[in-house]
Structure 1
Amino acid sequence: MTEKPDATVVLVHGSWGGGWVWDEVVASMTGAAGRILVPTLTGLGDRTHLIDENIDHELHAEDVIQTVEFADAAAIVLVGHSYGGLVASAVACRIPEKIRSLVIVDGFLAETGRSVFDLHPEIRAITEPLLNPTAPWQIMPLPASALGLPDGPQAERHDARTRPMPIRTHSTPFRHDMARLTTIDRHYIRCTDFPIFAATAEKAERQGWRRGDIETGHMVMFTQPGELARKIEEIATMEG
């Protein structure tokens, strides 16, 4: 492997989160991968005041693209966790020339014409009881305990900072052709203690994604930030 200091790592968070979820991962990175950009998607995190019922994954992809454009970033290692994998895939389809590697961490593997709810009916079932009765276009956050985080400061921080998710992020079909990404270096990192994405990881591997596993729950950036940082930097400095 050869170090490539000109790389830019872009970390895309998942449902209900914000750029803050990556704090411990960023702190664990050695700098070998180059610059790190950590956008917060519209309507979430410190941008929660911008929440709107028309927000979908395409708007969130635009958030990331604008972050990249204003940073004059290229040779991007684009990392998406959970729902962020869908956003990252849309970004990579739109600006493939800027993407060195696409990394999905325990997240959705997009398919043209299908939404998150189409791909995972079980997630629709999980989210239906979470719809805000006064604003049914909002999916209220799952508690940390449902995502495998044990009681403690991390779980408290998670539950204090997560915010409602516009339902169109999950109900809007993915419009891009994932075949555009076959020339991009693609990686899928599965969190082995979270069963929902087990079949997705296997499908990604069959489609030619390089696979790596971390023995932890879904919120790997809290439970194994050092190991996740190591894997991201390894990909960012990989030759070929």
Structure 2
Amino acid sequence: MGNYVLVHGAMHGGWCWRFVRDLLARAGHRVYAPSLTGQGERRHLLGPDVGVAAHVQDVAGLLHYEDLRDVHLVLHSYAGVLAGPVAERAADRLASVALLGAFVVRPGECLLDVEPPETAARYRASAATGGAGAYLPADASFLTQWGVTDEALRAWAGPRLTDFPLRCQTDAVDFDPGPLAGLPVSYVRHTRPPLPSLDLSLSRARAHGWDIHSVRAGHDMMLEAPETTARLLARIAGLSEPGPRGAGTRG
């Protein structure tokens, strides 16, 4: 049995891991899929002061209070920013880190530093005009950007997207890269379609010598291809793979 902590990206919540979580749990693994402060069912905690530090505490706190060890930490998209700080605080609790279509930052960088300049400018402008200067407003256009084309999936996921704090995109992270470098790290890229914003992060993953894997899905691979994603996460961790989907998982 393995221990998984699945951490969602911007505008999502623990809900986005529902299908992957169920598949891994049926294979006998213990799975946690927390919603970060201000996101998902914790959207009532959204405020202008929510930043990266709060989300680092969310993940590190879960590891501590549940006394989790030998954890396979899975970080999607924005959550890649948390990799270094969480490893610095809790490397002794981690067995591996998997970055799924995630952003890779260096000490002193923020999320917008590793986005293309035109994308960073667009997000800042959107926050200024539609998010009271503090939030990136969530809307269905992001599903298009992330390559989600299935209409039923769009109808299910769209209403669950949550405005995202601008601070989570502009807070620079300060961490010792040593603890993360001492862990097995894998990077999963998505290819149908790829996301140009991740080109720099993918090149950094290769430069670090991390294992690179591919999934033929869009950015929200855990929603579009839960079975493929769950099997890959099990293979990366060297654990038993889930069987075919059954009742209670997305068809």
> Do they superpose with TM above 0.5?
yes
Cα–Cα, structure 1 residues 88 and 32, in superposed 2: closer, same or farther, change >3 Å?
farther
The letter for the 1-side match of 2:55 is H
Match of 1:135 in 2: 132
How high is the TM-score relative to the length of structure 2? 0.87
How high is the TM-score relative to the length of structure 1? 0.91
The letter for the 2-side match of 1:215 is R
The match for 1:107 among 95, 102, 105 is 102
Cα–Cα, structure 1 residues 152 and 133, in superposed 2: closer, same or farther, change >3 Å?
closer
Between Structure 1 and Structure 2, how many residues are aligned? 233
CA contact 1:85–1:104 (8 Å) conserved in 2: yes
Cα–Cα, structure 1 residues 204 and 108, in superposed 2: closer, same or farther, change >3 Å?
same
**In 2, distance between residues paired with 1:164 and 1:97?**
33
Match of 1:218 in 2: 219
The letter for the 1-side match of 2:220 is M
Q: What percent identity do the matched residue pairs reach?
A: 27
Question: Which residues in structure 2 correspond to 1:1-240 (within 5 Å)?
Answer: 5=1, 7-29=2-24, 31-32=26-27, 34-120=29-115, 121-131=117-127, 133=130, 135-143=132-140, 144-192=143-191, 193-194=193-194, 195-237=196-238
Cα–Cα, structure 1 residues 196 and 157, in superposed 2: closer, same or farther, change >3 Å?
same
CA contact 1:112–1:175 (8 Å) conserved in 2: yes
Q: Which runs of 5+ in 2 are unaligned?
A: 240-251
**In 1, distance between residues paired with 2:25 and 2:61?**
26
Q: CA deviation at 1:33?
A: 6.5
Secondary structure at the aligned position of 2:106 is classed as: coil
CA contact 1:188–1:204 (8 Å) conserved in 2: yes
Q: Which runs of 5+ in 1 are unaligned?
A: none
CA contact 1:145–1:151 (8 Å) conserved in 2: no
Q: CA deviation at 1:71?
A: 1.4
Secondary structure at the aligned position of 1:95 is classed as: helix
List structure 1 runs of 4+ shifted beyond 6 angstroms: none
**1:12-61 deviations in Å (ceiling 9; x for gaps):** 00000100000111122265572101100001110011111111111101
Q: CA deviation at 1:73?
A: 0.5
